[in-house]
Structures are given as C-alpha cells and as structure tokens.
Structure 1
C-alpha cells in the first residue's frame, strides 16, 4: 500500500509529496506562484499518482508567526491526540514521525514542534 503526504505552501510556493512505502520525497518548487506553475506542479503530482493504489494526501497551509525565523504549518486535520505535543529539535528526533521527517526535508527547517 502506498501512502503519499503532499504539502502545499502557497505563500512559499512549495509542494512536497512523500511516498511512505518507498521512502521517497518529491519536491516541486516553482520560482513564482503563478497559476500556470501551480497547475504544472499539480499535473506532475497527478502523473506520479496514476495507478490503482490508494493514496493519502495532506495539504498543509502556512502562517507567519511573530518570530521571523518561525513558520506555522496548519495541516487542517488532527495529527495528534487532543492536548498532546511533540518537539523534534532535529531531524533524527523525528525518526518515528513521517510528517516530522518530511518537514525536516524542507530547506531551512531546523526544528519542528507539533501541538494544538
């Protein structure tokens, strides 16, 4: 069974697709966020998805924070139990978390905190 996580960051024009079963990562980073480039990125992801294998997609928005060195990821779905938090100070700490590992593959990510 293949599971894909896809992250779209419209503000940063980054789309990330992670295949859990093959442990592979595809990053598509258009130079500008024009509809044409977003469409091309979507078509590329769709081309990878042409099969009968079920896939799980997660679209994550981003939000700026008061800290200019920090970015808040908003998955739109519950990723933790209510009241639970997880801190990954580095990529090795996120070993058991597919979402945490994937976020560390984004250029510039130094730590990840998952919470409410």
Structure 2
C-alpha cells in the first residue's frame, strides 16, 4: 500500500450501488423482522447477496428523456427576455389596478 490509496473491501467501498441496496434491506429486516416488498428484496430472496452484486439497482419503472428547445437567435436589437419581462410586469400592473379598484369600491360601501 505504498501508493497511498486506501484499500476497500466490498462493503467498505463508498457509493457501491449493491451496498446501498443491502443496507436498506438490512435496516428493514432489523426494524420489521422481514424483507420489504421491493425489487431488491425479491432479487435478494431469489439469488442472495450475489443477486444484489450482479444486478444492483434493478430496472427503473420509468425513463426520462431530455429534449432541447429551439431558441431564437440572439440579436443586439431585440431581446426576447425583455419582452417576457414587460409582459409579466403588465400582468402585475393590471392585477394591482384591479386590487385598487376593489379597495376603492369596498371603502365607499363600508362608509
């Protein structure tokens, strides 16, 4: 071990997917006295520890994809962000105007 790198056993390796699954199963068994009803527990019950090591973190129930959006080309003469900011500001001013109108009506009615 002259290289200065730490030697890890299988259960000592940080970030090992099978280890995290094993630890979750272990904690559940300690707390409840039985395996949970999960894919990892089924693999462990069928194949033992080797099942977790060979097939860690089973297939996901969902899959996500990231799709890019088309953006207009940048122009020093026109910035779409300024248009969006102006539109939001207009909505806020309109909402504030409605609140003022309501408070004026309520103030006249309450007198």
Which category describes the TM-score, using the shorter chain as reference length?
under 0.3
Structure in which a larger fraction of residues adopt helix: 2
Q: Which has the higher contact order (CA 8 A, sep 6+)?
A: 1
Give the structure-2-normalised TM-score.
0.21
Q: Which has the larger radius of gyration?
A: 2
Give the structure-1-normalised TM-score.
0.20
